[in-house]
Structure 1
Amino acid sequence: MSPNDGAPLAIIAAALQRERHRAGLSLAEVARRAGIAKSTLSQLEAGVGNPSIETLWALSTTLNVNFARLVEPPRNTVTLVRAGSGPSVASGTADYRTALLSAGPPGARRDLYLITAEPDRTHRSAPHAAGVVEHLVLGTGRALVGPAEDPVELGPGDYLGYPGDIPHLFRALAPGTTAVIVSEHI
């Protein structure tokens, strides 16, 4: 593969370094696990060499990332949504609003939401797709959250992970309650 074949070597080099550091692995360990020479990996991380598709697939498997993460340029690396400025959607059954802060890019399996709620009624959610897990961190206030059959009371800073593919609920117990939810699609 050469720079004119579609995936510039600089993008591959940066991606390999980024993903290797993210995984906390040494150059030698990644090379060993991928079944390539350490010198080959060193050259690729330096932006030189001629990686084959097989080498890149072996590296993506070893680093536990999609192949595309090694050959596509990074997308928006910084996204800012100021408090109260993102579009939000209100519940029809409770004083509860959700704003999508970040949709997972193609191939990703997560979405990030900001929840604002006031104590009045319980917001009940029908089961989402099979395998969905929700991760919630309460920012302010207090809330009753989780599976409809066994919700948990949370305070600021508390984290709760629960299956999103069963009926679940969110009930603010204090004015000005906020939370961040990551919806993970397994």
Structure 2
Amino acid sequence: MPEDKPDRTGSLRIAVARRITALRREKGLSLSGLAARAGIGKGTLSELEAGTRNATLETLYALAGALGVPLTGLVGDETGRSVSDGVVDARLLMVRLHDDGGTSEVFWLTIAAGGTRISPPHVPGTTEHLRLVRGSARVGPQGAERAVDAGGSRSWSGDTVHCYGSTEGAEGVLVIETPRGPA
């Protein structure tokens, strides 16, 4: 008889729901207020907080930015945890919480062939660094993307709308440095 495996998607969905709710309340925001800040529907946020809806990577980044936390502030800092939207898959390799309240997150990033992902702005002062290992990609602030080939790297401000795209597919290491968020 096959071994039963825990429903990791369900438990992650519930954990994310609890974190969003707790952070929203801690910041003194209503559902409507947070939804407006993040640019998502109030119904979507309500379903996310109830744990009845899976969040997309784009929605998680929008909420993280609106709440002033890094992505791991919502999905947790369990090494190996992966979030994906079909174009970008980000698997957490490491998180470092700094004494000054900032965070460094290290992800193994995979960009699907033919895909483009537009990422909402993160917390003010956030910086992203991508070092490609395979393939080629166009990354950076929207409208100012630049090509990066295997062995190359690029850094940009993550507190503006930015893009990840690749015609052939790409893999690399993404470091997101997030300063201490607003109180």
When normalised by structure 1's length, the TM-score is 0.50
**1:140 matches 2:100:** no
State which of 71, 89, 93 in structure 2 corresponds to 1:97: 89
Aligned partners of 1:172 and 1:115: how far apart in 2? Answer: 12
Counterpart residue number, 2:163: 169
State which of 111, 118, 128 in structure 1 corresponds to 2:105: 111
Aligned partners of 2:127 and 2:87: how far apart in 1? Answer: 23
State which of 153, 157, 166 in structure 2 corresponds to 1:159: 153
Paired letter, 2:87 = D
Aligned partners of 1:109 and 1:165: how far apart in 2? Answer: 14
Deviations 1:46-92 (A, max 9, x none): xxxxxxxxxxxxxxxxxxxxxxxxxxxxxxxxxxx7xxxx231111x
RMSD of the alignment, in Å? 1.6
Q: Which runs of 5+ in 1 are unaligned?
A: 1-80
Task: Report sequence identity in percent.
Answer: 27
Paired letter, 1:185 = T
Q: Deviation of residue 135 (structure 1)?
A: 0.8
Aligned partners of 1:112 and 1:145: how far apart in 2? Answer: 17
**1:185 matches 2:170:** no
Q: Deviation of residue 132 (structure 1)?
A: 0.2
Q: Which runs of 5+ in 2 are unaligned?
A: 1-78
Aligned partners of 1:167 and 1:96: how far apart in 2? Answer: 16
Aligned 8 A contact 2:114 2:168 in 1: no
Paired letter, 2:89 = R
Query: Higher strand proportion, which one?
Result: 2
Aligned 8 A contact 2:105 2:177 in 1: yes
Aligned partners of 2:118 and 2:96: how far apart in 1? Answer: 24
Q: Which runs of 4 or more aligned residues in structure 1 lie more than 6 Å from their structure 2 counterparts after TM superposition? A: none
Q: Deviation of residue 159 (structure 1)?
A: 1.0
Q: Deviation of residue 121 (structure 1)?
A: 2.5
SS in structure 2 at match of 1:142: strand
Paired letter, 1:124 = I
State which of 68, 79, 88 in structure 1 corresponds to 2:82: 88
Aligned 8 A contact 2:111 2:166 in 1: yes
Equivalence map 1:20-35=2 (5 Å)? none
Aligned residues: 99
Aligned partners of 2:178 and 2:87: how far apart in 1? Answer: 26
